[in-house]
Structure 1
Amino acid sequence: PAMFPSFLKPKPAKQILHGLSGIFRTGMHAIMGSTGCGKSSLLDVLAHRKDHRGLSGHIFVDGSPPPSSFKYMVGYVVQDDIIFETLTVRENLMFSANIRLPRNVSHVERAERVAQIIFDLGLESCADTLIGTDFIRGVSGGERRRACIGMELVLAPKIFFLDEPTTGLDAATARKVMKCLSNLAKQGRTIIFSIHQPRYSIFKLFDTITLLSEGEMLYHGSAKNVLDYFSQQGYSCEPHDNPADFVIDVLIDAKENSVKMEKLKLAYESSSMNEYVINRRKQQFIDESFQIRTDRKSVKLKQFIWKEFYYVCLRTLKNTFRNPSLILSQIVVSIILGLLVGLVFFDLKKTTDPGVQNRLGVIFVIVVTQIFSTLTALEPLIKERALFIHENASGYYRTITFFCAKFLCDILLIRVIVSIIFSLIVYFMTGLERDIGKFGVFLITIFMASLFGSSMCLLVAATVRLFSVALIIVILIFLIMMLFSGFLIALKSVFSWLSWLQWVSAFRYATNILTMSEFRNIDFCLANSTNICPLPGPQVLINIGLDYRTNWDLWKNFLGLSIMTVGLFLLAYIQFRRIKKTK
């Protein structure tokens, strides 16, 4: 047989869940186990958030397979509190209501539903408080978690899935969140959640628990009977021990001892609990206490696309102007860079030496600073990627809606503002040719270069989920393009097999435009004379290898830069559509 290096060998498949069967009625249902036992995987499978490839088995709702729209009919709260941080609690809930509720629900009804959810979740005191960012003080951790729950409650789902709802919360806050879920269960909902090691006051709220170890089910039944069951298996809980801690200790003990694991597995398989599940699975009849009272045919998954676009645009605009890491930081960076470049290259003279060299230098620096300054947008884009994945998977909006709103109300808006600020500072401080036409070309070029940088950041953010990795990738691409701009090395001296890189260098197109525009009809005089001007601008262009005869020689660089920018935005859109929404 052929031999391959270890890193080329396919990763062996690992089965995470093994032949699980169970029934969840109305109430609080905890899925418990040690780390890596398959809790989150089971939850994702039940919620239709797991990639169906590699899965086998059946899930029944009301005794029949769930409809394709099932994941839009249930609530799903992820562990990481994915919610828009620059909106208030009420604004987040209203966004969910506006974009997810059926079209025939009036605005007044939506507002009333949101107000009721705020009351039910005990969020009245912070309803008009921002969720909060690293720079903006906001709601507490428990209030944030309940706001995430409220985002899903807008649909009034009968089935609710939550992944580790108490993670990261202190004991009192965790109990408050779980008590809130218990109240929702009493209203006729089925609440299914994974949880690690709850305190006893939380454990008492559970109706049933499902215990997993190494993907095997060792218990699926009443929470009240769990201690009696394990007592029959030879495990006794001390009088003052937390039952949740006790069962986790049992699972860990079984995990470390294959004989005990097999014994507990066989004990559950022969138990009355498992026998009841098997009998119910065979019968497959509808239990009136476990129905989603929704006409499946009437479920409307999508708003009109123009309505989606309106609400997503409105939210994006609020985020753009409220988030200091977006528009404010980029305006500050633009002002600082503009003043720095303006001071270093202040009032350039039209002399052969050093006027020509300084003008070429400032053009290169301007393009480099503008493109590299777009890196400030990379981290917010990475964060918003996670939000997009969650909301798109939950049926909030179409990909095209999110993408167009992001482009128009965030990227395009910010690029216009910072380009104007930077251009007004740099152009007149450096003393570039005072000509309205040339200033127009300068402004458009700065805007296009900035837009190109944003398109590259958006594409990488849509592809990579880690900011550190994305930053390295973008910087590396920018550096390669900068090397082939034609300013640092004569492109004719580059290896022929590398010369093609000049045609995909946005730095080259942008510097070519600004250089041709500045030098095409300007003369450079001797340093000690304003009458003797032996070096015309067109000759400078020839000397540095730029062929400028007609305006087309300038505009074809605009065309190249535009094609690259549009191409990257299209690739970014395709990548957003391709992002894997399942786990």
Structure 2
Amino acid sequence: MPSEQENISVHAEPSTRSSCLEDGLSEQLQATIFRCSKLRGSLRPVTLKFEDVAYSIKLPKTGGICFGSTDSKPDRVVLNGVSGIVRPGELLAMLGPSGSGKTTLLTALAGRLPGKVSGTITYNGQPFSGSIKRKTGFLTQDDVLYPHLTVLETLTYTALLRLPKNLTRAEKVEQAELVILELGLTRCRNSVVGGVLLRGISGGERKRVSIGQEMLVNPSLLLLDEPTSGLDSTTAQRIVATLQGLARGGRTVVTTIHQPSSRLYWMFDKLVVLTDGYPIYSGAASRAMEYFGSVGYVPRVDLVNPADFLLDLANGVGPDTKEGDRYDNHGRSESDDKNSMKQFLISSYKKNLNDVLKAEIRGNCGDQNASLPPTSSIKSSHEQQWTTTWCEQFKVLLVRGLKERRHESYSGLRVFQSLSVSILSGLLWWHSNPLHIQDQMGLLFFFSTFWGFFPMFNAIFAFPQERAMLMKERSSGMYRLSSYYFARMAGDLPMELVLPTIFVAITYWMGGLKPLPINFVLTLLIILYNVLVSQGLGLALGAILMEVKQATTLASVLMLVFLLAGGYYIQHIPPFIAWIKYISFSYYCYKLLIGVQYTEDNYYDCEFGQHHCKTLEFPGIKHLGLNNMGFNVAALGVMLVGYRFMAYVALRVRQH
């Protein structure tokens, strides 16, 4: 009835309210739920239709010039002619063996599939748009969560980023509390999520947290990729029961599932069965067995789980087929039998179901109550694209990043590493004699190399480690890339600058360098400048390659080249390769450190015991050329901005 569906809202969800009341919640808690439910606003139903969806990928060329062949392989068909319809209040499951195209189809329905998808996919008769995207929840198979944040922190930060700006911070926090109550996460609300290397909440609770992140925006359409993967049967049933309750509240829920139990199967309203990208059934789950019986595949009388029967059919295994038989009486191989059976099921689908399903998809019955406004009224301007302001995004991402990475930035291992190296180097250069110029130059060069190598290799891991999270959140439109990037830069600064400050404060005075405050301060500023430049290079390498092993290998080669051309090991570089030193930040940092430490009034101990040789006449210093320190500062400044700009551009390109 149109009038009822138009007024569907979250606080009217029968399954959610009954579950809360059955748990014996207090009246005050129920009032909180009701208040937070009103904050979500009305739920606008979405009818999802997809007709003749097809998708293929290009395979790389075979052979090559050396083999005399550059023929390209035919495109691999991932999806072909898949159709279906799912309405508000229905739970649709996609069933099929691994590689059948379930995830690809789900990703296409979510509007996140790269490349060209043929066919028609509509949401209340409209194509995919920004307004649909903001009301769509998409859950990948892997739970992409920050391991060191608690359940409450995870949902709160998501609420602050995804909920509209017209809600106050307190209202957004209340919304996160409501989701915790709805999904039964109260017991673990203050527990860390955990991960591979950190013990946290259980797998089922992690899955519910992931669902909760999508539930915060009160999605009209919820798409989930194998939400029961890796869970025991009881936990899997709870997850599917949760999805069924969400669907009964007026949402359209679509999920892929690999091997459901019989209890899970009967929770589904509709079913799409795929084999090798082709549909063999699309319709009501309760009528699937009847359909396959009508085309000649009657299940055994002892069958308990219908899903097992359907998966066998999708794999080309009939109810009377024996898996152990390699050849039948006619000498055909088992694979031939499977392929012929699959082809029969595909043709049966086209003959018996395809036309009826298309007629249902193209009909308007039942959809008048769920129509979107005309396309012209859909808001799509740049200002209306984001639910929160840039400053709010920056602030939330900065605080979240500091909390998540505090264990890494302020780890005892990093502090111990810096302190131990600083004390050891201070002892090795203990009160070095200013007359022994070569020793002090070695210490200054060590400053530039260590604080070029250390920050760069730490920064390489930044973006590759957060790649999955960045892709997930950016695809959901949670924040601008620029706000994330600057929040990441600002969050890394405290520890990146504190450690070198402690290092220089210890080693400078122990090493016997010029004991004047101004020289110490200038040396410290140069080292911090060098740290920021080397960190920028590490960020750029990580963002461009997005592969830690490749980035660290390339960084090792670059750092070796920069060190060799840094002006300490080699003074007379051949002209044809001398340009390398001008792209080495170690070269400019070393020149600045030398320029700060030595002036015309300094002398060193030269040959035959003479002590009146000017320091600036020392061959290693004279060759550097210290007459233009401003150019060195500017060169490092260009690198500082250039490397970070390269990292941002690389991230921007990768998201498209």
TM-score, structure 1 as length reference:
0.89
Letter in 2 for 1:282: R
**Structure 2 residue aligned with 1:318, among 392, 403, 410?**
403
- Between 1:435-444 and 1:174-183, the stretch displaced more is 174-183
Match of 1:281 in 2: 361
Q: Aligned pair 1:381/2:463, yes or no?
A: yes
Secondary structure at the residue paired with 1:161? Answer: strand
Q: Aligned pair 1:346/2:425, yes or no?
A: no
- Between 1:540-549 and 1:412-421, the stretch displaced more is 540-549
- Between 1:556-565 and 1:256-265, the stretch displaced more is 256-265
Q: Aligned pair 1:357/2:438, yes or no?
A: yes
Identity %: 28
- Aligned length in residues: 566
- Unaligned stretches of 5+ in structure 1? none
**Deviation (angstroms), 1:168:** 3.2
Match of 1:507 in 2: 586
Q: Aligned pair 1:124/2:186, yes or no?
A: yes
Deviations 1:283-339 (A, max 9, x none): 356625766799974695411222222222221222232x33666554333223222
Match of 2:447 in 1: 366
| In structure 2, C-alpha distance between the alignment counterparts of 1:151 and 1:519, rounded to whole Å | 59
| In structure 1, C-alpha distance between the alignment counterparts of 2:247 and 2:373, rounded to whole Å | 15
Q: Aligned pair 1:534/2:612, yes or no?
A: yes
Higher relative contact order (CA 8 A, sep 6+): 1
**Deviation (angstroms), 1:181:** 1.7
Q: Aligned pair 1:440/2:533, yes or no?
A: no
Contact 1:516 1:541 in 2 (8 A): no
Contact 1:62 1:286 in 2 (8 A): no
- CA RMSD across the alignment: 2.8
Contact 2:434 2:513 in 1 (8 A): no
Secondary structure at the residue paired with 2:253? Answer: strand
Deviations 1:236-294 (A, max 9, x none): 434245332332222122786332222101111122x4333211233356625766799
| In structure 1, C-alpha distance between the alignment counterparts of 2:433 and 2:242, rounded to whole Å | 72
Deviations 1:412-470 (A, max 9, x none): 22222122112112212222221222212211121122112221221122223332222
| In structure 2, C-alpha distance between the alignment counterparts of 1:261 and 1:313, rounded to whole Å | 53
> Does the C-alpha gap of structure 1 residues 201 and 287 become closer, same or farther in structure 2, counting only changes over 3 Å?
same
Match of 1:184 in 2: 246
Secondary structure at the residue paired with 2:123? Answer: coil
Match of 1:109 in 2: 171
Secondary structure at the residue paired with 1:17? Answer: strand
> Does the C-alpha gap of structure 1 residues 129 and 543 become closer, same or farther in structure 2, counting only changes over 3 Å?
closer
> Does the C-alpha gap of structure 1 residues 213 and 304 become closer, same or farther in structure 2, counting only changes over 3 Å?
same
Contact 1:33 1:213 in 2 (8 A): yes
| In structure 2, C-alpha distance between the alignment counterparts of 1:11 and 1:467, rounded to whole Å | 31
**Pairing 1:389-400 to 2, within 5 Å after superposition:** 389-400=471-482
**Pairing 1:83-232 to 2, within 5 Å after superposition:** 83-133=145-195, 136-232=198-294
| In structure 2, C-alpha distance between the alignment counterparts of 1:122 and 1:27, rounded to whole Å | 22
Q: Aligned pair 1:488/2:569, yes or no?
A: yes
**Deviation (angstroms), 1:515:** 2.2
**Deviation (angstroms), 1:395:** 0.7
| In structure 2, C-alpha distance between the alignment counterparts of 1:564 and 1:28, rounded to whole Å | 54
Contact 1:519 1:541 in 2 (8 A): no
| In structure 2, C-alpha distance between the alignment counterparts of 1:69 and 1:4, rounded to whole Å | 49
Match of 1:37 in 2: 100
**Deviation (angstroms), 1:192:** 1.0
Contact 1:73 1:155 in 2 (8 A): yes
Q: Aligned pair 1:332/2:407, yes or no?
A: no
- Unaligned stretches of 5+ in structure 2? 1-62, 318-334
| In structure 2, C-alpha distance between the alignment counterparts of 1:465 and 1:326, rounded to whole Å | 25
Q: Aligned pair 1:4/2:65, yes or no?
A: yes
TM-score, structure 2 as length reference:
0.80
> Does the C-alpha gap of structure 1 residues 368 and 152 become closer, same or farther in structure 2, counting only changes over 3 Å?
same
**Structure 2 residue aligned with 1:27, among 60, 67, 90?**
90
Secondary structure at the residue paired with 1:23? Answer: strand
Letter in 2 for 1:383: Q
**Structure 1 residue aligned with 2:649, among 552, 555, 574?**
574
**Structure 2 residue aligned with 1:516, among 587, 595, 609?**
595
**Deviation (angstroms), 1:69:** 3.1
**Deviation (angstroms), 1:5:** 4.7
Contact 2:131 2:379 in 1 (8 A): no
> Does the C-alpha gap of structure 1 residues 219 and 326 become closer, same or farther in structure 2, counting only changes over 3 Å?
farther
**Pairing 1:284-323 to 2, within 5 Å after superposition:** 284=364, 287=367, 297=378, 300-302=384-386, 303-321=388-406, 323=407
Secondary structure at the residue paired with 2:184? Answer: coil
